[in-house]
Chain A
Amino acid sequence: MQIELIYILILAGFVGFEIIKKVTPTLHTPLMSATNAISGISLVGSLVAAGSDHFTGQVLGFIAVTAATINVVGGFMITERMLKMFKKKEKKS
């Protein structure tokens, strides 16, 4: 295992901490569905497995691709749906 990967993990953790701290509590539910969609990045690993030439890899990868895609597509769509609801009232005079 390369030490640089641990560097990345820890530094990204700090970046995450600082950014998430600034997220307004009003948007904590969209935040969770957004990070959920982003964690669907496992899709990248799943794609490689599903696209390999071993049968087991293909089957495991296929299920993984399906599950991860549900997260990516579903996660981003529901986040958009929620964020659309957050409107500022226009003064109807």
Chain B
Amino acid sequence: MNYAMELVYLVSSVLFILGLKGLSHPESARRGMHMAELGMLFAVVGTLVGGKIVTWEWIITGIAIGSAIGAAMSIFMPMTAMPQRIALSHAFGALAAVLVGVNEYIEKGHLGELSNGLMSAIGFEVLFGALTVTGSLMAFGKLNEMIKGAPITYKGQNAVNITMFLVAVCMFVYLIFFPYNYMMFYAMIAVSFLIGVFIVLPIGGADMPVVISLMNSYAGLAAAATGFAIDNKVLIIAGSLDGSSGFILSIIMSKAMNRSFGNVLFGAVGAPQVETAGLAEARPITKFGIEDTKFVLEQAERVVIVPGYGMAVAQAQHAVRELSDELEKRKIKVEFAIHPVAGRMPGHMNVLLAEANVSYDQLLEMEMINPTMDSVDVCIVIGANDVVNPAARTEKSSPIYGMPIIDVDKAKTVIVMKRSMATGFAGIENPLFYEPNTKMLFGDAKTVMQELVAEFKKR
């Protein structure tokens, strides 16, 4: 590799870093993305010009097909399907890494140049790559509801997964010392593909944010390992940026769900369905109608809306934004409090609300809104349950004890919009519903919201 190309790759790397830095604020984000795009352009053009390319037809066809598919996927994919889309592209990225690894193995194998170091790099690359391909496809299938979203469990599951993992590691270690065993190499890839399928099987739909983030991280690590295999620094830098991003997001997601990494991966989630139905009958709740709600809202000075995934499922975000507009017309301050796991992937809820034209300065994080909750007049909870359950704060015996929640119960009035008294994902009774300041407004989120907006528009 010559100096000119190294220099081009260096510029690309710097542009990638500056590009991600832009995402620290919505205002600088688009400029940042333009920088990252420019960086990618430099890297690609630099490679095409200086990378000893002898045949062009495969490259041109591949870029043409890839661009067409990529563009189509971005233009037609609805924002609610974003998690699926991201999961799918993790699979594509990892597939590219695996294939480059296999090619490198074949080529260097022919030349008899498979050193231990090179073999380690290729091994990492195909191991991470292959399990990311199938793992992401599984996540895609579950999110797209092509595969049953609920956890699929069987006896001895963890033992099977751990055994497969150990087998893959042993094969890898063997290959480092005896790299010319071709059968072993392909067998290792096959095992790794299987691992991807098996580790995602027991993970339920609600835990997908962690899986997607983790796959993001693995795809990055696979790219970084590719960089080691073909001695390319921009791949290492871009890959480790991606890897650390996915890692941080998985930590944030796990914390927000009150779970450890290990618990998500090996916990066979969603199994304990706590039955507390008796309690629900015993205590009274206060029901509210549309007019009551309007009356309370009109008296308020500050309203906080807490959206959950239920809102997105009901496609109620536009109606919610209309309500927010109506309230603002009446000089009422409206904010949205977003829990980190409110959607199906990190930040998903923000995108859905932004799509419905909610101004981004109205979107507040949990940590920002909680200390000011006392001064909130009305808090509207739409399609959220576990993330507003005060048992997480008070009840040591509760499975969600310690989970960070939005303290809606501290607001003067809480209006909970819900289909029924059913429990959330975690299957836990929510004491919030029985608080004296909580009013229940039953119905489909979208219908109820539209009725409420219509009520406001009457005058």
Contact = CB atoms under 8 A, between A and B. Distances in A.
Q: Decide if A and B are genuine partners.
A: yes
Interface of A: 1-2, 5, 8-9, 12-13, 15-17, 19-54, 56-89
A22 B29 CA distance: 12
Interface residues on B, range: 35 or more
B95 A82 contact: no
Contact of A70 (B53, B66, B230): B66
Contact of B58 (A5, A50, A82, A86): A50
B242 A48 contact: no
Minimum-distance CB pairs A-B, first 6: A69-B66, A28-B347, A74-B70, A65-B62, A1-B117, A51-B53
Given A20-B249, A67-B99, 16 more contacts: A25-B340, A26-B360, A27-B23, A32-B246, A36-B89, A36-B216, A38-B241, A39-B93, A40-B93, A41-B239, A45-B229, A45-B230, A60-B103, A69-B65, A71-B70, A88-B360
B103 A49 contact: yes
B66 A73 contact: yes
Contacts of B107: 52, 54, 57
B135 interface: no
Contacts of A41: 12, 40, 43, 223, 234-235, 238-239
B2 interface: no
Contact of B53 (A36, A48, A85): A48
B224 interface: yes
Contact of B120 (A1, A40, A81): A1
Interface string B55-75: 110110111011101110111
Interface stretch (B30-38, B141-149, B187-195, B439-447): B30-38
Interface in B224-238: 224, 226-238
B89 A34 contact: no
Interface in B85-115: 85-86, 89-90, 92-93, 95-97, 99-100, 102-104, 106-107, 115
